[in-house]
Structure 1
C-alpha cells in the first residue's frame, strides 16, 4: 500500500478512545435499565401481595381475585357427614361399623360371675383380670403409733398422725391460718377473694357455700335431722365429727397428745388450749384493767363479773356470797343433791365434772386389767394375789 492510504498513529489512537467511551456509555445505560426493571418488578410483586380487595361474604376472608372467591365459596356449602344413630340410646356415630360395635354392648348380658366373691362381669377377659385381685398377697398395713389404727398406704398414715400431733404444715399465704391438708388450705384461700364464688345456695335461708357437702350439712340445721347415732346409747348427732367425739367417752380414747408433756386430750381444741400453759401466752387482754387471759371465755367472764356486775350472789341456804352466778349455782348442788354429770358407761352420777373425769379413768384401768388377766404372769401381783383396782 502507498503512504497516502496508511492511517497515522494519532488517528488510530483517537478511534480506540472513542470506542471505549461508547462501550462505557452502553454499559451504564444497560445498568440503569436493569435497576429500573428490578424496582418495577418488586413493586408489582408487592402490589400482588397487598392487593386483596375481594372478601368472602360468609366468613370475611379476603382474596386478590374474584375467581378465588368463587372457588372458596363451596367450602361453606359442604353438607355434614351422615350420622348413624344407635337404636337403643341417643348416641350417634359417623361410621357404621362403630355404630354396630356399640349396639353389641346393649345386647350383652352379665353371664360371668366371679367364683370367689360373686361379682358379675359381661366379658370373660374382665373376669380373668378380676380374678388376679384375689391372688394378690395382702399388703402389710402401717399402724399409727398413737392409736394403732391400720392404713394400707404410708401417706394416709402420715396424714392421720397429724390428728394426734396437731401439726398443720399448710398455711394460708393471706392470713397465715394453718391446715392439716392441702385441699382444705386451697378451699380456704377462696374466701379471701373479693367476690368468692359460692355456687351452692340454701333454699331456706339463702346462705351460700363453696361445696355441696357443706350445703347438705347446713340443711340439717333447718330439718333437725341427726343421722349419726351412737351404737351404745341413744344419742344422735347431725355431724359425724360430733359422733366421733362422743364415742371417745365410751372408749376412753384421747387421740390428741401434747408433744411437750405427753398429756392426752379428747379434742383438738382442748389440746390447743393446753399448749398455752407451756408457752405462757395469754392473747386475750381486758380493755378495762389490762389483765390477760389464755382463753376468750375466761376474759368474758372476767368482764361481766368484775367490771359490769358489782353485786354479790348470795346463797339462800347458807348465806355464802359469790362474785359469779355460775359459782353460786354450782355451790347450791351441795344443798339440793343434784348430780348432773352422768357416766355413760355404768350410769353413775356425780356433782362435779372433775369427779366424772376421775371416774372414767377407772373404766380404762379395768379394761387394761382385763387384757393383762389373759397373761398368767401379768394377772397376779408380786405376792401371787390378783391385782385389784379401787374406785375413787
Structure 2
C-alpha cells in the first residue's frame, strides 16, 4: 500500500485507535491542542489515501494503514482470533485472563483501559433509563437496554429464527451454531462459549454459592437455579399443557410431560426393556443395574444418584422445600405435598 506523505491539517477531533475485548476497533476522543489566544494549532501530518484520516506521528500513521489490509499475522493461541497489530493481540489476551488490572475508584475492575473509560462516564454524565433508573455510559447502551422494557428484539440470528434484545445475547447464541468455545477452565480444561458460563462453571471447583434463597436459606452457584428453586415457595406454575391442562413450574418439565401424550420414548436401556422419554430419565434409571452406589451420606447410607442422596439428607437437615398453597404447611417430599393438598379439594 502506498504511503502518501503529504501535508494536511489535523482534524478537529483526532481519534486514538483501540480495540475492545472482541478485537473490534473502537475510538476514544482525544483533546485538541491549543496555542496562544486559544487558537487551534495546525501541524503538518501524514494523510491516509484510503480514508483521509490524518496523523502527526508516522508510526501511528503506519499502524493505521494496516487496518485497511486483510493481512492479520498475529494469532491468539487460545481462541484462534487474528489481529493486524501485536498490541491489539496483547489487549485481546486479557479476555482469557481473570486479571482485571484497570480499576475504577468505585471498585469495579476491567480487563482493558477502554472498558474502564467507558464505565467511568457513568460517574460524570450518566444516561439514565426512565423506566428502571439504571445508568449507562453511552446513549447507545441506554437504547439497547430499553429494548428490555419495550420487548423489541432487533438482533436476529442469521442461522435460525431466534432474535435478541441485546447484541451480546445474539453473539453468545451464535456460538451454539459455530461451536466456538474460546473460554477454557484452568482447573479441568472444559471450554465454554461465554465468560459468564465459564465463571458459573468455575464455582464447581471453588464451591462458591453466592445466590441464597430468602425463604429457606438454600444457596446456589447459579442465579438461574435459584430462580427455579424459588418457584417451590411461590407455587408459580406458568407453563400449562394444551392437551390436559396440567401446569408446571418449569418449561423443560412441561416439554417432558408433553412427550407422555405422544407415547414416544426414544431412549432405551441396553440392559433391560425399559424406555424413557428423555436422556435424563434413562441416566437416573441406569444405577438400578449397578451395584455401585457412589453417593454416600455421613450416616453411612449410600445411593445410586445424587438426587436420591439429597432426598435422604432431608431426614437429617429437616428441610421442607414443598409448601402447600392453601395453608402454608411444608413437606420434605413432593408426593407428601400432593397427598396433603388433596385434603383441601
TM-score (norm 2): 0.43
Greater share of strand residues, 1 or 2? 2
Of the two structures, which has the highest relative contact order with CA contacts closer than 8 Å and spacing of 6 or more?
Answer: 2
Greater share of helix residues, 1 or 2? 1
TM-score (norm 1): 0.39
